[in-house]
Amino acid sequence: MTSDRDREKAEVPTTNPVAATPTSTSTSTSPPSIPIPIPISQPSLQSPKPLLHRRIYTFLTWTPPRCRWDPSHPPQFSMSMNILFAFAAGFTVANLYYNHPILNVLARDFGVEYEKVAQIPTVMQAGYAAGLLFLCPLGDLLPRRPFVVGLVGFTCAMWLGLCITHNLSVFTAISFIVAITTVTPQLMLPLVGDLAPPHRRAAALSVVVSGLMLGILVARVLSGTISNFTTWRAVYWMAFGLQTLIFASLWLFMPDYPSTNPSGLNYFQLLWTIVQMLGKHPVLVQACVVGFFTSSTFTSFWTTLTFLLAGQPYHYTPLTIGLFGLIGIAAMLLGPFYARTVTDRFLPHLSVLVGLGCCLVGICLGTYLGTFSIAGPVLQAFLLDFGMQTAQIANRSAIYAVEPRRRNGVNTAFMVATFCGQLVGTAAGNHIYARAGWIGSGSASVGFIGCAILTMCVRGPKEERWLGWRGGWSMVKKNKGSADGKTEEVAHHTEGQRGDEEMGAQKKVLEEVEVESGIEEPSKEGSVVEKERGSEKSGRSSGEDEVRPVKI
């Protein structure tokens, strides 16, 4: 018995799991068990989700070699680039207007009342306003190329949901999200202000704005026409294809541009500085007030025009009313030529007054002739579109010069005022038309445009304060190479180069003075002195020693 117990005690350590571990100090001569390697769980750390996310991010942020930023060779603004931005702006903002002519078709297809579908345009306008206020300022914080391309790609992906969903609530929610990211045209316009030469800025902006307004008109015409012959989903699939084309075009050809926020402001500071701008720059406030009143007349006209043409004495069909909007194409095509020949050569104040004058004449003709002659609304459509575009381009050309590094913030302030004017014009136009008819709503527009003209008259083109005409009445630019005629601008990417050029010119003048003083080889002597100073002060960079003029 004793031997059996001793044998059991001797066998216990061999079966103990703790003793079998690699840390055991047993001196048994039996071969040790093979330990399990610790790094066996390392491959599981690389899950496929981060890899997929990283691939998408790398794809969106990759830049073709010809579009990459090179400070020594910055991108040259060309007509092809201008047309690309105009195409992208036009068919991106069109996303907001495809649903306008087909709301009754959407109500029938979703099986709901018209009132439930009528909220979609309002929801999209609210989303667009949110994007203007909260996304556009990011253009001063982030590099524009990956930001714009990413927004277009996200819009394209979300638009696919609009094409396939059969639930009205989901359709409305996606429409709101898509409207928020449809503000990419308002990011392209400040970029055009950065890339285009100051003396050609108005013409370049006019091309993009013409494309933007053309997209608004074409969206309504295409949507109404296609829906008459096929389903409304064909319109949205067409829009999805256009968004995909825009994404591919921008990804391949949009130039890279560095961030214009060297001071390192955060997002909330950027939003606060927009409010501060309104207290520092009278020309910005003047442009915002004019944009508010001008846009209110534009939306009031196009909203109430449908009621006029559908009733007595015209009784036009919806298709004819939709084609009526094509009149504005002539005004949009004329806008870039006017901007290049007039706006770029004279002070923007002149073009704003010309544009507002065209709006006033058009509104008067359309209001007091429209009840018995179709010529009145036709002339109003042409003159109002041309006048509003002319005034808007001139105002943008002026306000983009006030803070060159904060053009997205400046554009945000201007567009928020313009958007508020659109909302007021739509609400006031419908309300007044219901009470006083076409002449009543048109007379209100005359008052709106009169307030805009008064705003331009209380402050002159060369006035630096809030009121007055100090500086004279002349509309001729003092500085032909500037956008507003008085502010000499330098592109962000050439500021350092210009500083080097100025130092080089200063050094050249000093050398000429030295030659006149009797020193035969100043450059040679100067180089020797520079080398000696560079050896004595090794802590300074070589670039600073080269540009510092030598005193002999």
Tens of pLDDT, residues 18-40: 444 444 444 444 445 555 554 44
Q: How many CB atoms lie within 10 A of CB 127?
A: 20
Which of 116-125, 341-350, 543-552 has the lowest average pLDDT?
A: 543-552
Q: Per-residue pLDDT for 525 more than 50?
A: no
Higher-pLDDT residue of 79, 34 = 79
pLDDT band at 125 (very low <50, low <70, confident <90, very high): confident
Higher-pLDDT residue of 278, 511 = 278
Q: Per-residue pLDDT for 485 more than 90?
A: no
Task: Say yes or no: domain 265-468 is CATH 3.30.2320.30.
Answer: no
Ordered by start, the domain boundaries in the chain are: 76-262, 265-468
Predicted confidence at residue 92, as pLDDT, reads 92
Predicted confidence at residue 490, as pLDDT, reads 55
Most confidently predicted of 1-5, 94-98, 423-427:
94-98
Q: Per-residue pLDDT for 396 more than 90?
A: no
Higher-pLDDT residue of 456, 24 = 456
Q: Longest C-alpha distance within the chain, in Å?
A: 128
User: In whole angstroms, what is the distance from residue 370 CA to residue 386 CA?
Assistant: 19
Predicted confidence at residue 539, as pLDDT, reads 44
DSSP annotation string for 175-221: HHHHHHGGGHHHHHHHHHHHHS-GGGHHHHHHHHHHHHHHHHHHHHH
Q: Which two tokens stand for residue 149?
A: 């391309």
Burial code of 380-408, b = ≥16 C-beta within 10 A, e = fewer?
A: bbbbbbbbbbbbbbbbbbbbbbbbbebbb
Name the average pLDDT for the chain. Answer: 77
DSSP, collapsed to helix, strand or coil, labels residue 28 as: coil
Predicted confidence at residue 22, as pLDDT, reads 44
User: What does the pLDDT average to over 163-174?
Assistant: 91
Q: Per-residue pLDDT for 271 more than 80?
A: yes
User: What does the pLDDT average to over 529-541?
Assistant: 44
pLDDT band at 55 (very low <50, low <70, confident <90, very high): confident
Q: Can the peptide bond before residue 313 be classed as cis, meaning omega within 30 degrees of 0?
A: yes
Q: What is the Cα Rg of the chain in Å?
A: 33
Alpha carbons within 13 A on the beta-carbon side of 355: 34
pTM for this model (two decimals): 0.69
User: In whole angstroms, what is the distance from residue 111 CA to residue 107 CA?
Assistant: 6
34 to each of 11, 22, 41, how far by Cα in Å? 21, 9, 17
**Chain centroid to CA 255:** 15
pLDDT band at 160 (very low <50, low <70, confident <90, very high): very high
Predicted confidence at residue 360, as pLDDT, reads 94
Q: Per-residue pLDDT for 470 more than 70?
A: yes
Q: Per-residue pLDDT for 517 more than 60?
A: no
Q: Are 346 and 475 in contact (CB under 8 A)?
A: yes
Tens of pLDDT, residues 226-252: 887 888 899 999 999 999 999 999 999
Q: How many CB atoms lie within 10 A of CB 249?
A: 14
User: What does the pLDDT average to over 166-193?
Assistant: 90
Which of 115-124, 246-255, 533-542 has the lowest average pLDDT?
A: 533-542
Q: For the chain, first and last CA: distance in Å?
A: 114
Q: Per-residue pLDDT for 79 more than 80?
A: yes
Name the residue among 81, 122, 451 with its Cα closest to residue 296.
451
DSSP annotation string for 464-479: -SSSB-TT-S--B-SS
Q: Per-residue pLDDT for 541 more than 70?
A: no
Tens of pLDDT, residues 369-393: 988 888 888 899 889 988 988 998 8
Predicted confidence at residue 488, as pLDDT, reads 61
Domains 76-262 and 265-468 share a fold: yes
Q: In this prediction, what percent of the chain has a pLDDT beyond 90?
A: 18
- The CATH class of 76-262 is mainly alpha
User: In whole angstroms, what is the distance from residue 184 CA to residue 151 CA?
Assistant: 7
Higher-pLDDT residue of 506, 312 = 312
Name the residue among 136, 218, 140, 138 with its Cα closest to residue 182.
136
User: In whole angstroms, what is the distance from residue 527 CA to residue 408 CA?
Assistant: 45
Please report, as a single letter, which amino acid is at residue 231: T
Burial of 229 from C-beta contacts in 10 A (0-12 / 13-18 / 19+): exposed
User: In whole angstroms, what is the distance from residue 99 CA to residue 92 CA?
Assistant: 14
Predicted confidence at residue 218, as pLDDT, reads 84
Higher-pLDDT residue of 331, 502 = 331
User: What does the pLDDT average to over 221-229?
Assistant: 81
Q: Per-residue pLDDT for 487 more than 60?
A: yes
Q: Per-residue pLDDT for 399 more than 90?
A: no
Higher-pLDDT residue of 2, 151 = 151
Which of 134-143, 327-336, 370-379, 489-498 has the lowest average pLDDT?
A: 489-498
Q: Per-residue pLDDT for 496 more than 90?
A: no
